[in-house]
Amino acid sequence: MVCKNNKTTISRYLDGLLNEDENKSIQEHLNDCPECRNFYEENKAIMTLIEAPDQVLPSPYLYSKIRKNIEAMENRPAALKWLRPVLVPTLVALTFLLFGLTSTLFFRNLAGRSGALARGSGAELNLQVFNDAPQSSLAQAYTQITGVRK
């Protein structure tokens, strides 16, 4: 187990962030503490293992590709340039409007049907399911309230 407070100090030591006194102190500690020494060596090993890969040269055609992109960007029809900030909010607004209209019509239609059902008699709908409802049952209460009879 590495001494708790020394982990970050060792890391700072590896990155050359300590002053002279701190360097000396941590070096002494590393000589005396095998766990911290191990922690130090593993971290140092990572820095050695993952060296920067050799510099690579980009393709000589890279600039012409970028130029093409810039030309495409600049030659985009002027109408599209100003349409985009207008078109997107308009489409969003239209979607909301359409959704609002559809739901209003749907609920109005539903309300109309429920109203017809509430207003209409059981006879109209040929609703005779509660004819033989037992005394004091919910079904009997329903027949009294709505007037559904034999």
User: Which position among 3, 27, 35, 70 is part of the footprint of other proteins (CB under 8 A)?
Assistant: 70
Smallest distance from other proteins to CB 142, Å:
56
- What are the Cα distances from residue 53, in Å, to 32, 47, 48, 96? 36, 13, 12, 53
DSSP type of residue 136: T
User: Which position among 1, 5, 19, 49 is part of the footprint of other proteins (CB under 8 A)?
Assistant: 49
Nearer residue to other proteins within complex by CB, 66 or 97: 66
User: Which position among 3, 62, 88, 97 is part of the footprint of other proteins (CB under 8 A)?
Assistant: 62
Dist. CA 119–CA 29, nearest whole Å: 92
In the region spanning residues 71 to 110, those forming contacts with other proteins, defined by CB under 8 A, are 73
User: Which position among 65, 76, 81, 113 is part of the footprint of other proteins (CB under 8 A)?
Assistant: 65
Dist. CA 23–CA 43, nearest whole Å: 16
Dist. CA 9–CA 4, nearest whole Å: 10
Q: Which residue has the tokens 């020394």?
A: 6
The site for other proteins (CB under 8 A) is made up of 7-8, 11-12, 15, 17, 42-43, 45-53, 55-59, 62-63, 65-66, 69-70, 73
